[in-house]
Amino acid sequence: MIEERQRERQASARPAPDAADAARNPGCVLDLGWIESVRVNRSAVERRIAGLPGRRTVKQQWQAAWLLRAISCMDLTTLSGDDTAGTVQRLCAKARHPVRADILEALGAEQLQLQVGAVCVYHVFVPTAVEALRGTTIPVAAVSTGFPAGLNPFELRVREIEESVAAGAREIDIVISRHHVLTGNWHALYDEVAAFHAACGDAHLKTILATGELGTLRNVAKASLVCMMAGADFIKTSTGKETVNATAAVSLVMLRAIRDYYVRTGHHVGFKPAGGIKTAKQALEWLILMKEELGNEWLRPHLFRFGASSLLGDIERQLEHFVTGQYSATFRHPMV
């Protein structure tokens, strides 16, 4: 029985190719008819979200396996004004070995070669992160285009992407100009994201919608579709700097947009909730939402990421509780 449970955990947590190795979204022409036809039933969205916690739960060894999967889909992130090279190096060391060896051994998961989905930093620390992750397959993601407001001159935003790619970033997290969404200027938003996509070259493009600043769920749905049409490989909820970040309602609307885009074009686009996801319980809720809305294929790091800076510590703590039956102090699971 123990060996069978170990095999289940290993199968569930087995790493897949990261986003940098996945197929790109080539985008498509801007379809204004499709955009204007978008409707969002807020009452139905809220009803769906309210019923989610009672629909499905995972316990015991299955919960441990899902939490291991959550770790593999995590973008370890440090985006503070007091970041230093040392901070980034320590974060990269955690990315290489996100769970203590004794916990993995007790879980029977030491052969998984578990690692996170990416390490996300400011442009200035891209070379530091690239060097610290040398010899691994963990990509470096750089926030770009005047993060978090996205109001720098357009030419500078494009140049920033090019510089980050040249420095070794394999993923670029850009922020859109929110005023294009708020004024319904979909041509401008499409052209902006398409230019960012072109500047990325072979790097994957993750577009941050800053959903807490878009006003309505309908705007969120429309912006999601426009960004995907322009070639976004991921759509991301938030910068983590807004007053309101990732919520289940916004996530559901974005996931439905991803599904619609896939049905119409056949192109896969990933999803990244970011900001405010701090506990293992929340991570499980998002994984369940992904599974129910998009299926198992979107439970891999090339199509799903958590934007997280503190989530890993709680997940590691929960895994230790599964192994020992006791909760340890949080200082036993430091991030850096």
Residues annotated catalytic, as ranges: 173, 236, 272
Pairing of β 140-143 and β 118-121:
parallel
Within 8 A by CB and 6+ apart from 197, the residues are 27, 205, 230, 231, 232
CB 180 within 8 A of CB 191: no
CA–CA gap between residue 296 and residue 11 (Å, rounded): 13
Phi (first) and psi of residue 141, to 5 degrees? -110, 140
DSSP character for 143? E
The set of residues, in sequence order, having a beta carbon less than 8 Å from that of 283 and lying 6+ positions away, is 67, 70, 277, 306, 311, 315
Q: Which tokens belong to 94?
A: 């955690």
Rounded (10°) angle between helices 60-72 and 2-13:
30
- How many separate helices (H) and strands (E) can be counted in the chain? 14, 8
User: Rg (Cα) of the chain, in Å, rounded?
Assistant: 19
Phi-psi category of 248—alpha, beta or left, where left has phi over 0 and alpha has psi -120 to 50?
alpha
Structure tokens at 135: 């010899």
Where are the alpha helices (H) located in the chain, listed in sequence order? 2-13, 32-36, 42-55, 60-72, 85-96, 101-107, 126-132, 154-166, 178-182, 186-200, 217-229, 248-265, 280-294, 311-324
Amino acid present at 242: E
Beta bridge partner(s), residue 206: 173, 234
In angstroms, the Cα distances linking 128 to 2, 84, 132 are 42, 10, 6
